[in-house]
Structures are given as structure tokens and as C-alpha cells.
Amino acid sequence: MSHVVVLGAGLGGTIMAYEMKQKLRPEDKLTVVTLGTQYSFVPSNPWVAVGWRQPEEIAVDLVPAFKQRGIDLRPEGAKRVEPARNRIELNDGSSIDYDYLIIATGPDLAFDEVPGLGPDAHTQSVCQTTHAVQAKAAFDKLVRTPGPVVVGAVQGASCFGPAYEFAFILDAALRQARVRDRVPMTFVTPEPYIGHLGLDGVGDTKGLIESALRDHHIKWVTNARVTRVEPDKLFAEEVNDDGSLKTTHELPFTFSMLLPAFRGVPAVAGIEGLTNPRGFITIDKHQRNPAFNNIFAIGVCVAIPPVGKTPLAVGVPKTGFMIESMVTATAENIASLLKGSSRRPSQAGTRFVSPTSATTASLSSRSRRFRRATSTGRRRGAGCTPPRSASRSISCARCGRARAKLFTKISCSTCSGSRSSRTFTSNLPNDGGI
């Protein structure tokens, strides 16, 4: 019998536990260590911050969910991982031993790296549901007394998508409240250009997002280093491409939401061989730590080098689809080791470290939406512009071997009809997911 422990029960840790359980032998044991018993769907936090969702609507009680699947839950939380002893010290003083450990802790939020940053200081956050609830109170105050808004991310951040998303969500919510005309908005980011996303752009993200910001009357400052935040003013330095100071900005605000930089959580930070200087878990192409070969890691807690050089620190985002592929590779690799297979571990899960791979993830999400759309049986109306076709050959994100071809048709702008009747074909086994 082997004991597999998943450390963390966020987006990555929860699906890791589910998929790992399916791969274990009957005699193996699976335990999840996390702080508390509730799972919250973090991608919905921006909606909570403007009242489009309530916290309880995006939360799940893990106790019955894990019990139904035969997964043990330790809600005490981890104090320190001890790799040399194959043990985790928990916050209540007890400990748990493991044969294999999967680290899926997510990040520690480095608000302290910028004076005045964070929900305990002068800016809001949507990184946690409790932060989003606090942001909702600040949003309600903004509606009552409209004023300038600053949204974005600080230097060292890697999760830029939610910052852009929240800017547009906030714009829509203020329009619904009929106060948008009294709320000037500015987007502040360390990215060298709008739409960089930590990936040096994906397709035409620069043009698309710049156009969207203009359409919604949102100004922006790029290459911005936030130096400090006061109760009603943000101070930032805009730098040139060589890192030299270009100009300074003092941006007054009534409401501000800035995403912080990430770092490794205290339970693993500073462990030689396990983490990099920032506290992220170092892994090989099989999701396994090189120094401790019974430790794997998935999700935001893993170390991924920047795509390219930028004037300010800009991290690489770990997208949901990327995390899914990490989970699948890890489950397959550990299952292979448990069964004593001589095959090399699967390399799937390590392909999403470049802009090209991020595009693959986007195409996969689009494929699923198109498949759902084709099932409605809508037909193109008379006089509509015929849809355009597109195809792309890509490698399978799960096994890394088979080739798949994605066929899509862009719907008519008039009636949104006439989608392709066969949007995805594949020679992959099982469901052919990419």
C-alpha cells in the first residue's frame, strides 16, 4: 500500500485529488491536506466583487464531496513540508507521512512588497473570496460616491487575465448602476504593452485588448512600477524599454484593485532543492522535483521561467487548462510508478510554457464552445454573411504524441448561426480531448 498526499485543495488540488483517486490501486490511500473544509471557485471572485455572485454560490463543502470518493481530508493545514523525512507537519502540531506528495498549494500573495498594497491596506483584491467580499463593500461605496478607479497589477505579477477581466466587469457594473460617466478608469500594468499577458502576447491580443479598452474609455499605463499606495492615491514609475525612468504618475482613486506578485507559500519556501529563490517548486518535464523524486507539483506553485526579457518583472500565468494537463500528467506518472512500470513518465502537462501553447489552450476552450453551439441545431438565416473556416494541427496536451486537428467555423455576425456540424475530429483514443 502507498499513501499519496495532495497538499492544497484549490482549483488544481481538487481536480488532482479526483483524477489521482481514479488511478490508484485499491489498496492505496489518498489524503488531501488543506486549510479549512471549503472550496471556492476563484475565477468567479470578480463577479462576487460587484455583486453578480454571492460567496455561497461559488463554494463547495469538501467533506461530503471527498467522502463520497473515498478521499481523506485533513483540514488543519500544513505548517511545514519535511521532504527528507517524507512528512508534513500540520498547523495543530500533528504530522502526516507520505510515499508520494503532490504540491498544489497555489501562491502566497506578496502584498507586502509594495507599501500600501492589499485589502489590509489601501487597495482591493479578487485573489481570494474573502477579498472579493471586501471589494464588494468598496464597490458599493464607489456607486454611492463615484470617483476615479485604478485597476491592474503590480511588478512581479503573473496573473494578468483577471486584471483585464475585472476592469471590463467593473465597467459593466458601473454602467448598470448608471454612474460610469462619473468614474474615470485607468489600467496600470508592468507589462511592456497591453495584452502581453506574461506570454509576449497571444495572437493579436495587443490590438484586441487595446481596442477594447478604448471602446470602454479606459486609459492605461504600461511598464509601470508601483512604488507605493496611499489611502486615495497610487504612485507609479513608468520606465523605458531599457529600464530607465521615463516619467512618474500620481493617480488619485476612489476605488482600486491591483493584483500582487506571487511567491511560494511558507510551508515550502526556502527548502533547498525543492524551491527556487522565490519559493516556487522546481520541477522537471514530468512534473517531478529533481531533488526529491517522490514529490510532484502542479498549478500556480510551480516555477516556470519568463517567456522573454521585459523591463520590469512579468511572470508567466498558469492557466486553468495548463493546470488540467499538469494534473493528468502527474496522475499518470504516479500511477505508473505505483504499478512498477518501466516506461518513462509521461511528458504531457509540460507543453504550456510558451505563447504557442497558450494559443493551443485557447483553441481547445473554443472547440468546446463550438461543439455546444452545434448541438442547438440553429440554421443560418437568409442574407447572412457565410462563416469563415479555420483549421489548426496541434499536439495532444495529454499524451504529447498523437496529433489532432481542430476545425471551426466562425459564426455569422447577424444571426450567430451556421456553426460547423463537425467542429472537432481526432485520431486520439478515448474522448480525443486536447
Q: What is the pLDDT of residue 412?
A: 43
Q: Is residue 433 part of a domain?
A: no
Q: Mark whether 210 and 241 lie in a shared domain.
A: yes
Q: Mark whether 118 and 236 lie in a shared domain.
A: yes
Last residue of a domain, one of 215, 235, 262: 262
CA distances from 138 to 118, 143, 203, 332 (A): 13, 9, 35, 45
Which structural domain, as residue segments, surrounds residue 187?
A: 111-262
CA 226 to chain centroid: 22
Mean pLDDT value across residues 174-186: 98
pLDDT tens, 287-322?
A: 999 999 999 999 999 999 998 899 999 999 988 889
Q: Is residue 350 part of a domain?
A: no
Query: Which residue is listed with cell 465597467?
Result: 171
Q: Is residue 18 part of a domain?
A: yes
Could you tell me which of 54, 57, 34, 35 has the C-alpha nearest to residue 132? Answer: 54
Q: Mark whether 149 and 229 lie in a shared domain.
A: yes
CA distances from 403 to 305, 326, 349 (A): 27, 19, 15
Q: What is the pLDDT of residue 10?
A: 95
DSSP states of 392-421 as a string? EEEE-TTTSSSEEEEEEEPPPTTT-----S
Q: Mark whether 256 and 115 lie in a shared domain.
A: yes
Q: How far apart are CA 138 and CA 357, in angstroms?
A: 37
Q: 3-state DSSP call for residue 143?
A: helix
Query: Cβ distance 334 to 16 under 8 Å?
Result: no
Q: Mark whether 185 and 241 lie in a shared domain.
A: yes
Q: Is residue 133 part of a domain?
A: yes
Q: Mark whether 321 and 360 lie in a shared domain.
A: no
Q: Is residue 64 part of a domain?
A: no
Q: 3-state DSSP call for residue 237?
A: strand
pLDDT grade, residue 214 (50/70/90)?
Answer: very high
Which residues, at least 6 apart from 261, have a Cβ–Cβ distance to it below 8 Å? 110, 113, 154, 155, 156, 157, 158, 313, 315
Mean pLDDT value across residues 235-249: 97
Q: What is the pLDDT of residue 45?
A: 97
Residue 425's CB is within 10 A of a number of other CB atoms, namely: 12
Mean pLDDT over each residue of the chain, to the nearest integer? 84
Q: What is the pLDDT of residue 330?
A: 96
Q: Mark whether 120 and 254 lie in a shared domain.
A: yes
Q: Mark whether 115 and 256 lie in a shared domain.
A: yes
Q: Is the pTM of this model over 0.85?
A: no
pLDDT tens, 107-131?
A: 999 999 999 999 999 999 999 999 9
Q: Mark whether 29 and 96 lie in a shared domain.
A: yes
Q: What is the pLDDT of residue 319?
A: 85
Q: What is the pLDDT of residue 401?
A: 45
Q: For the chain, how big is the Rg over CA atoms in Å?
A: 23
CATH number of residue 168's parent domain: 3.50.50.60
Could you tell me which of 160, 302, 152 has the C-alpha nearest to residue 236? Answer: 152
Beta strands in 244-365, from DSSP E residues, in sequence order: 245-252, 255-259, 262-263, 295-297
Q: What is the pLDDT of residue 361?
A: 41
Worst-scoring range by mean pLDDT, 41-55, 149-163, 218-232, 408-422? 408-422
Q: Is residue 54 part of a domain?
A: no
The 10 Å CB-count burial string (b at 16+, else e) for 382-398 is: eebeebeeeeeebbbbb
96 pLDDT exceeds 80?
yes
Last residue of a domain, one of 227, 262, 297: 262
Phi, psi for 402 (deg, rounded to 5):
-65, 160
Q: How far apart are CA 21 and CA 333, in angstroms?
A: 13
Percent of the chain with pLDDT over 70: 78
Q: Mark whether 92 and 118 lie in a shared domain.
A: no
Q: Is residue 69 part of a domain?
A: no
Q: Mark whether 251 and 201 lie in a shared domain.
A: yes
Mean pLDDT value across residues 243-254: 98
Pick the more confident residue, 193 or 391: 193
Mean pLDDT value across residues 358-376: 43
Q: What is the pLDDT of residue 320?
A: 85
Q: Mark whether 270 and 258 lie in a shared domain.
A: no
Q: Is residue 203 part of a domain?
A: yes
pLDDT grade, residue 347 (50/70/90)?
Answer: very low
Q: What is the pLDDT of residue 340?
A: 83
Number of domains the chain contains: 3
Last residue of a domain, one of 262, 293, 326: 262
Mean pLDDT value across residues 379-384: 40
Could you tell me which of 32, 22, 60, 28 has the C-alpha nearest to residue 44? Answer: 60
